[in-house]
Structure 1
């Protein structure tokens, strides 16, 4: 049985559950935001979930575990008391999810997506490693020092949302560096060359690459995600340059990741690397006619070869395999 750790808003989990039914694969979905509707117990003999319909997932029956999005920060609704009680309960539930993931990792059942990936592989680590294989805009992180002058892009090191309701995001934006207070920890970056946002989904050695049909100038934005209904914008298969797949493979192996969505700017020359999201969304890029991206993720989640082991970092430094190929998603 495949255990999906996620929340009720996860549309990708909806598709994965449907594909499991199609191929006769047993699956149990735990939606962390609906935790009070489930029953759960863990003793020295193992743990077991029971969902609202009465279906049970016992640890002894699990054959794989996929960490999708077991986050309460994406769900606005809450039942369970005052803000202090909510904070305490969220902390307990998130800690439990990590315990389950580590239980699965120790048994070779945690597959593909690393729960701690976004923290272990931060923006600075990404840029240092990717800089060996791709063009990466010059960057500076610090405070109390003179920052590079001129127009710069400002980024956050953390991807966590802000605000008392955890509903605010600060997106990448350009500023005059002279206007930034030296008393604040800033991450600034030179404005990258390129005309279109592009992305490559990496799934255990398989690469699916896409770029936006419209340029940033045509969209009139610096970060396409700031647009209302941004995921409805048209994307197309990206004809990546020679050697691109091998460089993506090398980057991900060095970072010790088996899954991630890598963002670039494409244009007339070589693509410019922007960042890796170790648990990046991809649903809007997939073709509902056959769900090739979702199928690739499910295949990897069920494949013991994609198990996340404690020696993942050591394995990442092993000699690279033969060059991967970029898929069109068809």
Structure 2
């Protein structure tokens, strides 16, 4: 049986998992779907019982679909990247996507995570609703493109603006663009807010932040202390100023997190919390969030936990029962 790792060519985080699986002598195939139709091939047939069989032709040779026991969906590129915005190229991409992801989804394999589960869980508005229903504390939040409503919200409480979607494109030095959490006062809000919807949120006083990395039955909570003004507002703005330590998760919080993960169908998630005194306030869950930096800073055995799950998908049965 084989572990299939789907990611782009340069992915140091995926490298950690591949290295751990290789150390355990677990067969692992790493591929970038963008190479499928350039250097490989895809051939599948379905029988009368509804079972797909066939093979992927990858760099190391043919991979029998029946041998795939688990799939690590990390950072794959699209199967086809249209060079022109033409109908034929868009159609070719849609056909390849439907075939590749449709057949893989039908296999009796563990996904960490399935891309459909990632897409659903990546909706910030839905996250907040589900988190509250699962028993987690959430910030007071408004989503609006009405300037009067936005100004009223900001006048009633300390407020921050947060992006709901990931910005497209890269900066001039090739890094992915990022929009950091920003403080907002009523005078900042003018009629330009009507151009699109904005998420405004109560600014929670914080003792520190938590990045909680959940891998099946395992949960690794890293306390993050910010030592600069920029990082105190959004730790992504100044990683150099941060310090870390592993801490325990309050049992009731962990129980609610388990419920949230189950509701979204996630076997992996990176959750962010603000801690004030003994209260944990949920901010968001990143269904495909980065974890390599947390493992590096804290020594948390996250790569080992992911390898455990991919090597033995039966671990998800005990996870579901927690």
Relative to structure 1, the CA distance from residue 276 to residue 119 in structure 2 (aligned partners, 3 Å threshold; closer, same or farther) is same
3-state secondary structure, aligned to 1:245: helix
1:66 matched to 2:72? The reply is yes
Question: Structure 1 residues 290, 272: CA separation in 2 closer, same or farther (over 3 Å shift)?
Answer: closer
Deviation, structure 1 residue 120: 0.9
Query: Are positions 1:226 and 2:237 aligned together?
Result: yes
Q: Secondary structure at the match of 1:12?
A: helix
Q: Which residue of 2 aligns with 1:187?
A: 199
SS in 2 for 1:71: coil
Unaligned runs of 5+ in 1: 73-77, 309-315, 323-330
Write the deviation string for residues 251-302 of structure 1: whole angstroms up to 9, x where unpaired.
2223332221110112323011110011111111115998721111121123
Q: How many angstroms apart in 1 are the aligned matches of 2:36 and 2:213?
A: 30
Q: Identify, as 1 or 2, the structure richer in helix.
A: 2
Q: After TM superposition, list the pairs within 5 Å mapping 1:157-196 onto structure 2.
A: 157-162=164-169, 167-180=176-189, 181-183=192-194, 184-196=196-208
- Following the alignment from structure 1 to structure 2, what is the Cα–Cα distance between the partners of residues 94 and 210? 40
CA RMSD in angstroms, aligned pairs only: 3.6
| Partner Cα distance (1:152, 1:43) in 2 | 53
Give TM-score scaled by structure 2 length: 0.79
Q: Secondary structure at the match of 1:262?
A: strand
Question: 2:50 matched to which residue of 1?
Answer: none
Structure 2 spans left out of the alignment, 5+ residues: 46-52
State the alpha-carbon separation in 2 of the partners of residues 134 and 267 from structure 1: 14
How many pairs does the alignment contain? 301
Q: Kindly tell me: are residues 240 and 296 of structure 1, through their superposed partners in 2, closer, same or farther at Cα, counting changes over 3 Å?
A: same
Which residue of structure 1 lines up, in the alignment, with residue 154 of structure 2? 149
Alpha carbons 2:69, 2:313 under 8 Å: kept:
no
Distance apart, 1:152 and its partner CA: 1.9
| Candidates 111, 134, 137, aligned match of 1:135 | 137
Partners of 1:94 and 1:232 lie apart in 2 by 44
Name 2:30's counterpart in structure 1: 29
Alpha-carbon offset, residue 190 of structure 1: 0.8
- Equivalence map 1:240-259=2 (5 Å): 240-259=249-268
The equivalent residue for 2:48 is none
Q: Which residue of 2 aligns with 1:5?
A: 6
Query: In 1, Cα distance between the equivalents of 2:154 and 2:297?
Result: 46
TM-superposed CA distance for 1:179, in Å, is: 2.6
The residue that corresponds to 1:325 in the other structure is none
Query: 1:290–1:225: structure 2 CA closer, same or farther, 3 Å change rule?
Result: closer
Taking the aligned partners of 2:182 and 2:298, their CA distance within structure 1 comes to 36
SS of 2:303's equivalent in the other structure is helix
Pair 111,119 (structure 1): closer, same or farther in 2 beyond 3 Å = closer
1:296 — aligned with what?
305
